[in-house]
A and B are shown apart, each in its own frame.
Chain A
Amino acid sequence: MADRQLIEPDMNFVKKIEDFGGDTLKKCFQCATCSVVCKLSPENNPFPRKEMLWAGWGLKDRLVTDPDIWLCHQCNDCSAYCPRGAKPGDVLAAVRNYSFMHYAFPSILGKALSDSKFLPILLGIPVVILLFLMGIAGHLNIPQGEIVFEKFVPHYIVDPLFITVSILMFISLIVGVTRFWNGMKQGVHPSVSKKVPVGDFVKLHVIPTLVDIFKHSKFMKCDRNRWRYIAHLLIFYSFIALAMVTGIVFLGLYFLGFEHMLPLAQWNPVKLLANAGAIALFVGCTIVISNRLKEEEKKSKSTYFDWVFIMVVYFIAISGILTELTRLAHLAGLAYSLYFVHLVLVFYLLAYLPFSKFAHMIYRTVALVYSSYSGREG
């Protein structure tokens, strides 16, 4: 009986998903209203009905290898229409959060990121490292004169540190994503086994997926919460803008020989881009947070995992903007302190990316590529 599956529910998994914000999952009685109202769900084997049942039955292995959980953009149409209050949108979000932890490498960091009691340690690490390195370099004082951050934390400290962290982060991410890809291949929507040449793969699956992501076309289908789409769009493009600024500065410093290019003049196009990005990030985060607070009133559960991520991003935006403003106001003490805070938070965001909600941009992209590759979206 090869077509008969032995089902062994994992009760702890059920509890975990409940802890991660999916505490309504057991309310589902499988009417499939969610799958009917969902605009993103494929016609064949639609989500989230089946995911709700798997979650209720504690079928962890199916869920973590299911690309469909990433097709969901959590517009919550399903939750709004659910006759039982089972909130499939929240349950899928919880399952996604569980996935970060599941694929995290090393897994200890995955656990730490999802538990509030580790937050001081996780923030403490960059503080200690930065202070230690600055101490070695003899920079543990507020520099005098014109405010130039390089005088406070020299490039030769910041850049090697962040480069190292980025490399480690990428290694971790690659391990996680590889596990994820292989999991999906053996999971519930197995891909066709035939080999596709890399060029075709990129042309047929990667590029269209990326175009979709850049256009936010999936997100746009969720008409239940227009503000979420706008907020996400702002945050998404602000990150791109800020990443471009970082890249340009990096090029300038080390490859084009502009050793003293910083701080950039306010009229510099790169500076304009940076400021625009910072404001977009701030506005986007403000919308997200105010939405979440509203949702909180309606008792839609936002967990620690979600909150900590958005707050870190928000404080990065705020500390960045304030750093710039205090610098322009010549408030040396404040400016340097804020810059330090800003660095710590950026470290947090970057170093812990594979274990935090930030990783969704990678996992979702991979899942969307996989869905396209496996013919899921027809």
Chain B
Amino acid sequence: MDKKIGVYICSGCGIGEALDIDALAEVATSEYSVPICKNHTALCGKEGAALIEGDMKKEGVNTVVIAACSPREKTEVFSYDPTTISMERVNLREHVIWCHPPNDEDTQMLAEDYMRMGLVKAEKMEPLEPFSEEIDRTILVVGGGITGITSALDAAKAGSDVVLVEKKQELGGWMAKLWKEYPKTPPYTDIQETGIDSMINEVKSNTKIKVYTGAKIEKTEGSPGMFDVTISQNGSSDTVRVGAIVEAAGWQPYDATKLGHLGFGKSPNVVTNIMVEEMASNGKFARPSDGKEAKSVVFIQCAGSRDKDHLPYCSSYCCLTSLKQAKYIRDHDSDAKVYIIYKDMRTLGQNEIFYKKVQEDEGIFLTKGEVVSVSEDPGNNLVIDVDNTLLGEKIQVKAEMVVLATGMVPSVGIKVEGAIVGEPEEAAEEKKKEDEEEPTDIIIPSDTLNLTYRQGPELPALKYGFPDSHYICFPYETRRTGIYAAGCGRQPMDSAACIDDAAGATLKAIQCLELTAQGKAVHPRSWDMSYPDLYMSRCTQCKRCTEECPFGMYNEDEKGNPLPNPTRCRRCGICMGSCPERIISFKDYSVDIIGSMVKAIEVPEEDEEKPRVVAFLCENDAYPSMDIVGRKRISYNPYIRVIPLRCLGNVNLVWVADALSKGIDGILLVGCKYGDDYQCHYIKGSELANYRLEKIKETLDRLVLESERVRVLELSIDEYDKLPGIFDDFMETIEEVGPNPYKGF
């Protein structure tokens, strides 16, 4: 189908007063010979929208360039079917007239450059052809604990078929091992029943849920909408097709045998909180050494938690569990004394009320403190030395039993051969430091999903073995599209949180299936129908795309050819940035398109003293930040030309070369924060960009081009006010360095 471009310039919101609209239209009609170019005082109004739609119908316009406000505004008005209409928006309002003086030569030049860049992009864009294949809408739930059970029930209620796989013979997980629960419902004052039995029965009687217990996932192949999962049970195996997966693989208590310094293993009367649940179920808090009922019990909180030598994090359930177990003991024996030695009492949610209630018991004694030692006296009694207590002194208490409140280790964080938690991560980090190599993923072979993905068999871990990808910005999302983590395997939490978590992850799974069926990406580009297209005849099997994709989209054949799985793709374009052969493109976004935009910038002669800088801005934080700068009418240097990117990880080094050979004086890249508290929506895009750009700086030095001409920065949206300063500062550097020597070539 032939392209027919229509350019529509809006003169509303002050654009008409600040710019020479006719001159701007001239760029389109003369320089680019666009057949249709119109302007209107309010394109976003009914009349304006009708103008554009009328041209589409009558004139056959199939590519529109809307030169008006930011592409982030009025999306409900300028919304066309991307399979038939290509659209590009030129940001004249936020990025031009709101930040630069009206009717000024530089402001007009800026607007005209943006017009050229938009036109070039529009010329090269093609209508999208969504990837569509028959998809299966069954949801696989891995793990039959409280999270898995809730997820299965929620999915079934929402109309999905569910396959539930549990490795143990019985459903229920840890909840089935608890005697009672701390309060989960108002008034949050009394210990309650877990209620897990009725949930298990509900699952068993639900015809939409197929349950495999005593089962194991041998293999998970495929991609969202078409996962083929091989489940083995009782020696036989089934392969089922599912569309999305909720991984609720749960947790294991931290290995108490590592807590010898707290007496575990040295005295039989030092037990764990898990063992206390068993005692409670048996109705007797008998100390293991002689079976005598313990009259005094010391709970040690954070046993192996929030401790650099053990688990560095808080498991969030242990404080409340100890309060609950203290109550078990006191309700059982009104003469018993219970001590709780904590680092900080952390009672999440409404459970501060329960804490207050337990506190009032005259036989429960609480203090902050650091347990120095737990030893045994000849009478099998335990002597606990505690420093830094609230009493302002070092104290000693004697007890007949000590309970260690141990934390949670994600089951998926445990290497099945029995490796130590965290070691793979540390090893990877060390490797990174030693070799200064690219950021490495941590994939712990936990024998949970056994994915047949090129990058590894399980979900990449974020921290401490938990596979969450970013718990604030996109909870439940893992780095494997279509697989959502929930419950204690995602982050430590209690059963109330698990229930919420299960609902969240289940909804995510359903959402994934809906979007996949429409040929769209999942979060964050959840409207996007484009997907990467590989021009395979030029592939050199360098494997950079298959290695660098943060979502494991590519599998690989034996020769090293990438095998894309489009439904796994998040459309971030990091592969596009990685490919040295530049063979990876989207129909509306490619190395060529962006490179052409760079080349479309008019570079004035050196003697005009109007330098040019191209700024690649990530569309997630940096670009919206610049819109805010516009809204706040903060002015900045007019020599900057901004190009939004899906992710800084898209930056292909050829763009830098294009820009420099064109005579552009500097290149600025602004992406999201990376590192431990990263904000990159594609996890490691900005980090990769930084890594790649380090390499190009070496090349620049070799070409006798100052490496100061390229700068990579991180910005989060709340730092929008720094952006003008970043521009001004960079321009100063460019002025110091002087004009690009290739100018005018």
Instruction: List residues of A whose CB falls within 8 A of some B CB.
Output: 1, 3-9, 11, 14-15, 18, 26-27, 29-30, 45, 50, 53-54, 56-58, 84
Contact = CB atoms under 8 A, between A and B. Distances in A.
B398 interface: yes
A4 B395 contact: yes
Interface in B360-412: 360-363, 365-368, 385, 390-398
B208 interface: no
Output the residue of B361, B362, B363, B395 with the most chain A CB within 10 A.
B362
Interface string B330-370: 00000101000000010000000000100111110111100
Interface residues on B, range: 20 to 34
Contact of A4 (B335, B345, B392, B394): B394
Contact of A7 (B356, B361, B366, B397): B397
Contacts of B363: 11
B395 A5 contact: yes
Nearest to A24: B360
B359 A3 contact: no
A26 B358 CA distance: 9
Contacts of B360: 26-27
Nearest to A15: B362
Given A30-B390, A45-B392, 16 more contacts: A4-B385, A4-B395, A5-B393, A5-B394, A5-B395, A9-B337, A9-B365, A11-B335, A11-B363, A14-B362, A26-B361, A27-B359, A29-B359, A50-B392, A56-B365, A84-B356
A4 B335 CA distance: 26
21 contacts: A1-B385, A1-B394, A4-B393, A4-B396, A5-B393, A5-B394, A5-B395, A6-B396, A6-B397, A6-B398, A8-B397, A8-B398, A9-B337, A9-B365, A11-B335, A15-B362, A26-B359, A27-B360, A29-B345, A54-B391, A58-B362
B337 A11 contact: yes
A53 B390 contact: yes
A61 B360 CA distance: 21
Contacts, number: 60
Interface in B606-629: none
Nearest to B339: A9
Contacts of B335: 11
A7 B362 contact: no
Interface residues of A, dominant DSSP: mixed
Contacts of A18: 362
B399 to A, nearest CB: 11
Contacts of A50: 391-392
Interface in B477-493: none
A313 to B, nearest CB: 33
B391 A26 contact: no
Contacts of B392: 45, 50
Nearest to B355: A29
A88 to B, nearest CB: 15
Contact of B391 (A3, A7, A11, A27): A7
A3 B361 contact: no
Contacts of A9: 337, 365
Contacts of B361: 26
Contacts of B396: 1, 4-7
Contacts of B365: 9, 56-58
A3 B356 CA distance: 32
B362 A26 contact: yes
Contacts of A11: 335, 337, 362-363
Contacts of A8: 397-398
Contacts of B391: 5, 7, 50, 53-54, 57
Contacts of A53: 367, 390-391
Nearest to A56: B365
A258 to B, nearest CB: 60
**Lowest 5 A-B CB distances belong to which pairs?**
A14-B362, A26-B360, A4-B394, A6-B396, A7-B395
B669 to A, nearest CB: 48
A57 B361 CA distance: 11
A3 B395 CA distance: 8
Output the residue of A6, A54, A57 with the most chain B CB within 10 A.
A57
B91 to A, nearest CB: 51
